[in-house]
Amino acid sequence: MRIRSLTTRLAVPLAAFGLILTGCSDNGAVAPGTSTIGSTNDINPVDPSQLRDGGNLRLVLSSFPENFNVLQVDGGTESGAMVAGPTMPAPFVSNAAGELSVDHNFFTDVQLTNTSPQQVTYTINPKAVWSDGSPITWEDLRSQANAQSGKDNAYLVSALSGFDRVEKVERGVDDRQAIVTFSQPYGEWRGQFSPLYPKSVTATPEAFNTANRDGLTLSSGPFVISNIDRAQQRITLSRNPQWWGDTPKLDTITFSVLDHTAWLPAIQNNELDIAYMSGIENVTAARNAANVVIRRAPEPSWSHLTFNGAPGSLLEDPQLRIAISKAIDRQGIVTASQNGVVENPKPLNNHIFMAGQKGYQDNAAPISYDPAEAARMLDELGWKLNGDVREKDGRRLELRDVMYQQDAWVQTAQIVQQNLAAVGVKLTIQTVPGTGLFKDVIDPGNFDIAQFSWGGSALPLGALQQIYYYDPNNLMGNKARIGSPELNALIDKTIAELDPDKAIELANQCDQMIFAEGYSIPLHQASGTYAVRDNLANYGAFGLATPDYTKVGFLK
């Protein structure tokens, strides 16, 4: 299950292969569908009154959270966000069409109250409290805005989320109102404070980076963490006794860390209630398991190959990255993974927008598949064949490709390996367990190519600053260590644009620059295919929607 914050892109180790089931004939064949983002989801909607009280929702994680503060760079992963979903507040929720509305559990009103200067007024629900009973106040918003401002690089943030543009956060009519004033406009302001953490976690760099390393010190949602068992790799949530909203139907939610190969057996053996299925064999086997259904809704998650372009790295030269990109048959990779389950499978050709989202256009011409041109460029760059592998200045063109241990990722890497061998580039495949993949390998830059997925949201422009802005002193989500002052300036201009259509135009100009510098190779976006217990309601394939954990439960 992929749970999203509204702006922060989440690093997802799993391959987001869009394998879907739109209809089954009597022989169990899987019919092809789509991976294009739409306006519906598939969650088995049922009035909560028709659900039984109690029950345990059993979910799976690919890795144990490195930090339960998802605002911190180690915590900005899918696993951390899944735990935050039922336990932490946020101002807005999204429906299946990606339309945002205020979450009235936490805020009675959130309004853009001025544009010159830009001001947003947050009115906090007077009932909203942290798990120790203390009220959520304007000071929590002020403290988080300061932590994410980028003014102090000791705060190891996963994203600035536009807080570098906030001039001040002031008390409104009372402690339950915050007025945020911007020094520069920020178009994706609706994604800020998503999620919100208490001031005790954001007040100092030490607290921000370490206070939630081993759990949530304070939370505020329908559920709280009641047990963390690192030996069993299990996290248990229970109902929050301080919760003021609708009483959840579930008693508990249990997250278990399992290797991906164990997901299907766990579904078949009734050890999980839902799991993402990637692979036609897995989808078919899950469909045929007792009391299991396939639910699907295309979602803004996409897989890619990201280069390490750090100064001094083998792939520091953008023209070398472009040459290698042109040697890789993206259509072949997508066809191999999605043929028969997605109609007319196509590579994703944009780093910002997903197919189906307003603003999507094909900007991928710089990395179009052309192995002959790739070989010519490599020759021109001085990488000459010596036997089967190219060399330059005594250095062999040997690349190390790291990824989560999952068959689908390895199969993709094997295609890339064959493609690159054809132009004299050697690729070594290295798999890594989910826990530690980012913190110990990708974030320190211990790779030449990294394969993983980004999980997006209904507010895609937040990714520009988080992932593609380059500040060597504050990398945030820029795993590639690639960028330029020119791209930074265009990103600044884009996220300052309050006219949505103009912002989309500028975002695509950014994307064209991102492709031209050989940042990464988009592969394909996820169709969102899940194996789900047939008695689970109000939970499944959410698409762009935000789960309501007070309504999730099991049929009577």
Q: Does 384 lie in the same domain as 249?
A: no
Q: Does 258 lie in the same domain as 163?
A: no
- Total of domains in the chain: 3
Final residue belonging to a domain, choices 153, 180, 211: 211
Q: Does 171 lie in the same domain as 145?
A: yes
Helices (H), 85-217: 138-147, 199-202, 205-210
Strands (E), 65-106: 92-94, 100-102
CB 418 within 8 A of CB 388: no
Q: Does 184 lie in the same domain as 139?
A: yes
Residue 316 lies in a domain: yes
pTM: 0.92
CATH of the domain at 500: 3.10.105.10
Q: Does 255 lie in the same domain as 353?
A: no
Which tens digit of pLDDT belongs to each residue from 127-153?
A: 999 999 999 999 999 999 999 999 999
Least confident residue range of 22-26, 238-242, 337-341, 458-462: 22-26
CB 185 within 8 A of CB 193: no
Backbone angles phi, psi at 274, to 5 degrees: -160, 145
Helices (H), 64-105: 78-84
Q: Does 539 lie in the same domain as 515?
A: no
Q: Does 536 lie in the same domain as 400?
A: no
Residue 480 — pLDDT band, cuts 50, 70, 90?
A: very high
Q: Does 108 lie in the same domain as 96?
A: yes
Residue 32 — pLDDT band, cuts 50, 70, 90?
A: low
Q: Does 175 lie in the same domain as 138?
A: yes
CA-based max dimension of the chain: 74
pLDDT greater at residue 33 or residue 448: 448
Q: Does 389 lie in the same domain as 534?
A: no
Q: Does 469 lie in the same domain as 393?
A: yes
Distances (CA, A) of 381 to 205, 308, 416: 44, 18, 21
Q: What is the β-pairing status of strands 398-404 and 449-455?
A: parallel
Q: Mean pLDDT score of the chain, rounded to an integer?
A: 92
pLDDT at 31: 62
Range of the domain at 228: 48-62+222-297+528-555
Residue 140 lies in a domain: yes
Residue 40 lies in a domain: no
Residue 30 lies in a domain: no
Q: Which of 27, 219, 192 is nearest to 120 (CA)?
A: 192
CB 9 within 8 A of CB 508: no
Residue 114 lies in a domain: yes
Contacts of 301 by beta carbon, 8 Å cutoff, 6+ apart:
2, 12, 16, 453, 454, 455, 456, 525, 526, 528
Return the structure tokens found at 4.
């999203």
Residue 106 lies in a domain: yes
Q: Does 535 lie in the same domain as 421?
A: no
Residue 233 — pLDDT band, cuts 50, 70, 90?
A: very high
Residue 257 lies in a domain: yes
Compute the half-sphere exposure of residue 52: CA atoms within 13 Å on the CB side of its CA: 9
How many helices (H) and strands (E) the chain has is answered by: 13, 24
